[in-house]
């Protein structure tokens, strides 16, 4: 197979910097541009495995902050003291899930990705379902003023989802990190400044 310089660069850097996945550099870019993670705050990280975002977020919020990671798969990582892990499928969550994760988050992140089929519209639809589930959770646990960051695969329903966010957030941006493959259909929606009256 032809070597992929993109893969090699970010994968090597992640190994050197002891992150379990190169996806950490996407959150690093998002943070640099939008400052969604605040010191001493609480962050909910949906689809957190293998744990790069969780580590980066826990370093950024600091020891008085908290990061709660959620994934349907087990997390194989030594958790920092300011992080905890909840194993659950966000599409099949029980009401008790909301109590388990807690509330009053300053940022809700979703890097969740569906298992892909190769069919672009099916994959985009599944990605949107995950984004909608993430938003439904965020609606209940995100503090006013907080930020919602969500990975989506570009598809025909993306605009409606993004326009919907404009009703409840002060600013909504679309962002394609440099560390995301150009060929990938993924982009991140960064919604900032949750309005007080949307809970």
Ligand X SMILES: C[S@@+](CC[C@H](N)C(=O)[O-])C[C@H]1O[C@@H](n2cnc3c(N)ncnc32)[C@H](O)[C@@H]1O
Rounded alpha-carbon distances, angstroms, from residue 101 to 12, 44, 70, 150, 184: 33, 8, 8, 18, 31
Closest CA relative to residue 105, chosen from 26, 40, 30: 40
CA distance 11 to 22: 5
Closest CA relative to residue 79, chosen from 98, 58, 97: 58
Active-site hit among 2, 26, 38, 151: 151
Q: Is 53 in the site for ligand X (CB under 6 A)?
A: yes
CA distance 37 to 163: 23
Give 32's contacts (C-beta < 8 A, 6+ positions apart): none
By CB under 6 A, which span of 4-12, 70-78, 159-167, 170-178 interacts with ligand X? 70-78
Binding residue (CB under 6 A) for ligand X from 30, 49, 149, 189:
49
CA distance 150 to 50: 17
CB of 114 to ligand X, least distance (A): 6
Strand partners, 142: 105
Binding string, 85-124, against ligand X, x = CB under 6 A?
----xxx-------------------xxx-----------
Report the residue number, 47 or 65, with the smaller CB distance to ligand X: 47
Binding residue (CB under 6 A) for ligand X from 11, 72, 100, 199:
72
Q: Is 79 in the site for ligand X (CB under 6 A)?
A: no
Q: Which helix (H) or strand (E) holds 190?
A: strand 186-194
By CB under 6 A, which span of 41-49, 152-160, 162-170, 182-190 interacts with ligand X? 41-49
Report the residue number, 40 or 73, with the smaller CB distance to ligand X: 73
Report the residue number, 59 or 145, with the smaller CB distance to ligand X: 59
The reply to whether 151 belongs to the active site is: yes
Site of interaction with ligand X (CB under 6 A): 20-21, 23-24, 47-53, 70-73, 89-91, 111-113, 130
């Amino acid at each position: 197979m032809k070597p992929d310089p993109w893969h090699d660069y970010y994968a090597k850097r992640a190994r050197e910097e002891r992150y379990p996945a190169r996806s950490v550099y996407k959150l690093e870019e998002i943070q640099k541009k939008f400052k969604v993670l605040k010191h001493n705050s609480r962050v909910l990280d949906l689809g957190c495995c293998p744990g790069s975002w969780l580590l980066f977020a826990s370093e950024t919020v600091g020891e008085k902050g908290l990061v709660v990671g959620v994934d349907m798969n087990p997390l194989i990582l030594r958790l920092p003291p300011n992080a905890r892990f909840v194993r659950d499928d966000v599409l099949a969550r029980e009401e008790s899930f909301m109590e388990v994760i807690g509330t009053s988050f300053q940022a809700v992140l979703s890097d969740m990705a569906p298992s892909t089929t190769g069919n672009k519209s099916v994959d985009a639809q599944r990605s949107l379902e995950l984004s909608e589930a993430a938003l439904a959770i965020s609606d209940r646990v995100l503090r006013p003023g907080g930020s919602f960051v969500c990975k989506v695969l570009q598809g025909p329903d993306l605009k409606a989802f993004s326009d919907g966010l404009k009703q409840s957030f002060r600013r909504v941006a679309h962002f394609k990190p440099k560390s995301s493959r150009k060929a990938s259909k993924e982009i991140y929606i960064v919604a900032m400044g949750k309005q007080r009256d949307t809970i």
